[in-house]
């Protein structure tokens, strides 16, 4: 199973292995945690299944959703898509200001998602994002191989 191979690679490089949208798969693979969208399993149910593992919640462009996620003890909150992306269809585009607003209400890690590349990532970090979820720039980059793309963020 590819999940087991990815888990092994993550462990080798000391990187957390989170499963997107599928708590049952996260449990089966004994992943470090899972990321839940607003239409996925509710966090309290996920917590019953994977206990003390990492659970992050998509909050789109909403402080209200972030407050609910925090009340339900999410380990991180995620906002996005900040920039246009072809990785997946998005309905919401938060302003950079939402990161600062979220930081004022919590010390919980904040993740920025969507269309992040070597030219725009610093804006997110400067506006209080703790972590960045980057996919397309690394895996679908026509000019750079994945390792070259990753090095652009150092």
> What pLDDT, in 10s, does the model give residues 113-142?
999 999 999 999 999 999 999 999 999 999
Q: Is the pTM here over 0.85, yes or no?
A: yes
- The answer to whether 115 and 94 are in contact (CB under 8 A) is no
Beta strand 33-36 with 110-113: parallel, antiparallel or unpaired?
A: unpaired
Domain borders along the chain are 16-151
Q: Helix (H, G, I), strand (E, B), or coil: what is residue 56? A: strand
CA distance linking residue 115 with residue 117, whole number of Å = 6
Quick check: helix, strand or coil at residue 54?
strand
Q: Are 9 and 21 in contact (CB under 8 A)?
A: no
Q: Please report the pLDDT score of residue 89 as a whole number.
A: 76
Class of domain 16-151: alpha beta
State yes or no: pLDDT of 92 exceeds 90: no
């Amino acid at each position: 199973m590819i999940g087991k191979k990815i888990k092994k690679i993550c462990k080798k490089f000391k990187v957390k292995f989170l499963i997107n949208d599928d708590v049952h798969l996260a449990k089966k693979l004994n992943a470090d945690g899972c990321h839940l969208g607003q239409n996925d399993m509710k966090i309290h149910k996920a917590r019953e299944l994977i206990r003390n593992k990492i659970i992050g919640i998509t909050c789109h462009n909403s402080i209200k959703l972030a407050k609910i996620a925090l009340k339900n003890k999410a380990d991180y909150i995620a906002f996005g898509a900040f920039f246009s992306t072809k990785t997946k269809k998005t309905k919401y585009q938060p302003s950079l200001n939402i990161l600062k607003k979220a930081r004022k209400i919590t010390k919980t890690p904040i993740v920025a998602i969507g269309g992040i590349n070597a030219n725009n990532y610093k804006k997110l970090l400067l506006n209080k994002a703790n972590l960045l979820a980057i996919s397309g720039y690394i895996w679908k980059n026509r000019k750079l191989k994945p390792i070259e793309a990753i090095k652009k963020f150092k």
